[in-house]
Structure 1
């Protein structure tokens, strides 16, 4: 680890930034099995927030692996590093008063707790909202838009979450969405209602 570095605070305080932009940042962390609906909900939520003239940005698991995390595989060690980096990037976006939406399987409780702690330890602390996008394995296997579960069952993909690698479901997420019971619009409404209730965004007229 480098020791000859100094953190620069900058001339704009967090309070001044939020006042000038008219909103505070937060990380909305969607976790769940592949094909549970994370990316679809994240995309719809981002669009909804932007249409309300709010600063929002979405980080998608697949997209990030094309650039920032293209050097990482899918083994346990690389999965941990993948989520560590995303936790740091999410914090950077959210500390700039952006509503940051992440859509990552993030299968391990410890990794999600690390991401949460990064936000809680920030000065000032940044809200971290865990959203469990929940769908039974039988449902996501039927959806399987990329054919990944079929390949995993055939042994063509190793370390596949839900089949040959574990998924540790959240025990007490801020939001729990069962996508076999609600559609995308309803899922977005659930998240938006929470953000309004917590006064992270203004209530819609």
Structure 2
């Protein structure tokens, strides 16, 4: 635990938003491996950038090459993996950038922790909670196994990968995700429209002139 530290206030989020002419938020993709999370997140990132919005995608595999390269896939390491990413996403969102995260994030408690971090504001701060949009990319395990682009399900079935989500480790599906996508019957383009529509309805895509 850190000690002897003090929170230093600076620009308010409202001031940053007015100066950058954008609002920040986190769009949190969750779902089984091979559900299409990253594919949809990449397409959404491209769409938002083309609209003139600052956004950045944090991918489950990519962060394990750097920030989280010291973590494995045990329940404890998965929890720490999500905690770190949630903190990073919150920083992006606080800077008025749209953070897109694509992580299996199989445990409901860990996703709730990420949501709670975005809801928390420093004491005496005038900032409001940061928008947190959970996107559940839903797919039956059987369909994910048919896709299996990385051959991970095959290895898990053969016992070569321990604690693999959906096979030998649990996935706790969200019951109140802001956006629920059935990826086996929804195209990437349709998924992007669904998410964009939600963001527009919440006033998060307004680019001030």
Output the TM-score relative to the length of structure 2: 0.95
**Structure 1 equivalent of residue 7 of structure 2:** 7
Q: Does 1:175 align with 2:187?
A: no
Cα deviation 1:70-108 (Å, max 9, x = unaligned): 000001100000001011001000000011100000000
Structure 2 residue matching 1:65: 3-state secondary structure:
helix
Report what 2:124 is aligned to: none
1:30-69 mapped onto 2 (5 Å cutoff): 30-69=29-68
Give me the whole-angstrom Cα distance separating, in 1, the residues matched to 2:12 and 2:199. 23
Structure 2: how far apart are the matches of 1:154 and 1:4?
Answer: 50
State the partner residue of 1:184.
188
Q: Distance in 2 between matches of 1:99 and 1:14?
A: 13
Shift of 1:14: 1.0
Structure 2 Cα separation of the partners of residues 61 and 97 of structure 1: 22
Unaligned 5+ residue runs, structure 2? 122-126
Aligned-partner Cα distance in 2 for 1:9–1:142: 51
Deviation of 1:124 (Å) = 2.1
Moved over 4 A (4+): none
Identify the match of residue 148 of structure 1 among 144, 152, 157: 152
The residue number in structure 1 matching 2:101 is 102
Gaps of 5+ in 1: none
The alignment partner of 2:48 has SS state of helix
Cα distance in 2 for residues equivalent to 1:85 and 1:52: 29
**Which secondary structure does the structure 1 equivalent of 2:28 belong to?**
strand
In the alignment, what sits opposite 1:91?
90
